[in-house]
Amino acid sequence: MKNITQSSIIEVLISLTLIYALLSIFVSLLIEWWNSKRRTRQTMLQNAINQLLKDSLNLDYGALFYNHHMIAGLKNPESNRLPQYISSSMFAEAFVDVMAAQAIHTQKIRLSETNDKGKQYELEGDSPPENVIDRFQVAVKAMNTSPLKDALQSFIDKSMVKDVDGKKVLDYPTLKKNLEIWYNDYMERVGGWYKAKLKRKQYVFGFLVALLLNVDSLHLVKVISMDDSLRNSLVATAEKVADNYQKTADSLKSDNGVLLKVISSGIDSIKLKENLKDPIIKTKLAKLDSNFITKKAKMVLINDSISAKTISQTDSLLGIAASLNIPIGWSTKTAPLSWSWKKKLMGCGCNVKCTHKKGPGLQAYLDYRNHCTTWWNLFWYILGISISGVALSFGAPFWFDMMIKLVNIRRSGAKPQPSKDKE
């Protein structure tokens, strides 16, 4: 029986991290497409700003803010989509304008009658100040008492400075800075809420990809550990990918397109040989039909720029997975489809004892797994799919970082010696 050495375990783990990293990109692509279709980012940002500016005792400042020409100008003219991001500087400038405008729009008008000119209308009280900052103070002062008014009045008090005559005046740069800090602190909490929602989606889409591509982690471990040629090619690719990933700028390590190029360059830099030379074994492994999946994706996804980008990157990703000969995908010759398609031909019906026995070697394992419809095989398959779903929910950056650590461990250790068979 072949010894499982420490180096072999590391190599299997490295191979798995490469597969998980690649398929986690697919998960990210689907989530990105889904968020775009559902307008998740835009809606969450709008709801967050409405919540920040919510004041039931005064005006709907959230609606007024989004009607400001600076913010309305950020909308996509074709799809009328709201902006996904608003900088703190733009928020502060637009909000000051919104509040200052209330000093004009909320000013009351009274009727005055004269004998010679008839009915005349004039503004009550003093005319609004010409300076935007002064109008901002007037508008805040005119608000009904509320938590938002208290917060804005606090910002005004903290932004007062003395002018050349020693008189206290509102300093716009200081006020703007205080509003930016207020907005940024709130957006950090919003970012936490978004990540929590994103994590739930990662679990859902992680299991979806595991089922869509038939990614059985336990099956992957078995095949990789018993097929030296496949394992060696995956490890060689992972080492090059890890090196390329370390050279990538931190700001780009979450970009799906960049990550695809990192993996693709790792494959192109080495000449991958045919991993499975035995035609009998090769037919017993699942084969990923990337063209079929891409064609189905085109039928499902809406024909727009986001969907076109998703389809293009999906086609590239699945092509990489197919070139690596990763044992994933659906086939009537492999489990679990082979359990229903071949049970009569192979004499492995529900009430018939399976004629295939467990034994050493890849072919014996594949024969038993693919042709024997047993409760144990079903249990291990469901467990393997579940492990894959959880693993893919961690995200591609996690698996890339894990790949680097494992590659470094392998490189720092002693060179693996050829294993010998024990009788």
What pLDDT score was predicted for residue 115?
A: 55
If one compares 121 and 204, the residue with the highest pLDDT of the two is 204
What pLDDT score was predicted for residue 295?
A: 59
Does the pTM exceed 0.95?
no
Q: How many CB atoms lie within 10 A of CB 194?
A: 17
d(CA 395, CA 29): 11
**Nearest of 415, 1, 377 to residue 226 by alpha carbon:** 1
Alpha helices in 39-85 (DSSP H): 40-52, 61-67, 69-72
Q: How many CB atoms lie within 10 A of CB 391?
A: 20
pLDDT digits (tens, 9 = 90+) for 17-64: 999 999 999 999 999 989 888 889 899 999 999 999 999 999 999 999
pLDDT digits (tens, 9 = 90+) for 334-390: 888 888 644 444 444 444 456 555 667 888 888 888 888 788 888 999 999 999 999
What is the average per-residue pLDDT within 219-236? 92
The first and second tokens of residue 388, run together, are: 């894959």
What is the average per-residue pLDDT within 415-421? 52
Is 319's pLDDT higher than 90?
A: no
Percent of the chain at pLDDT > 90 equals: 44
Highest mean pLDDT among 45-49, 253-257, 289-293, 329-333: 45-49
The first and second tokens of residue 308, run together, are: 């076109």
The model's confidence at residue 13, banded by pLDDT at 50, 70 and 90, is: very high
**Nearest of 297, 400, 354, 337 to residue 23 by alpha carbon:** 400
Is 67's pLDDT higher than 80?
A: yes
- What is the pLDDT of the chain when averaged over all its residues? 82
If one compares 352 and 71, the residue with the highest pLDDT of the two is 71
What SS3 class is residue 55? Answer: coil
| 353 contact partners, CB below 8 Å, separation of at least 6 | none
Domain ranges of the chain: 6-38+205-412, 40-188
What pLDDT score was predicted for residue 276?
A: 42
d(CA 170, CA 35): 42
If one compares 265 and 143, the residue with the highest pLDDT of the two is 143
What is the average per-residue pLDDT within 187-215? 92
What is the average per-residue pLDDT within 83-111? 82
Asked if the peptide bond before residue 327 counts as cis, ω within 30 degrees of 0, the response is no
Going from the C-alpha of 307 to that of each of 198, 210, 260, the distances in angstroms are: 20, 21, 17
Asked if the peptide bond before residue 336 counts as cis, ω within 30 degrees of 0, the response is yes
What pLDDT score was predicted for residue 253?
A: 86
Is 209's pLDDT higher than 60?
A: yes
- Return the residue matching tokens 């998980």: 20
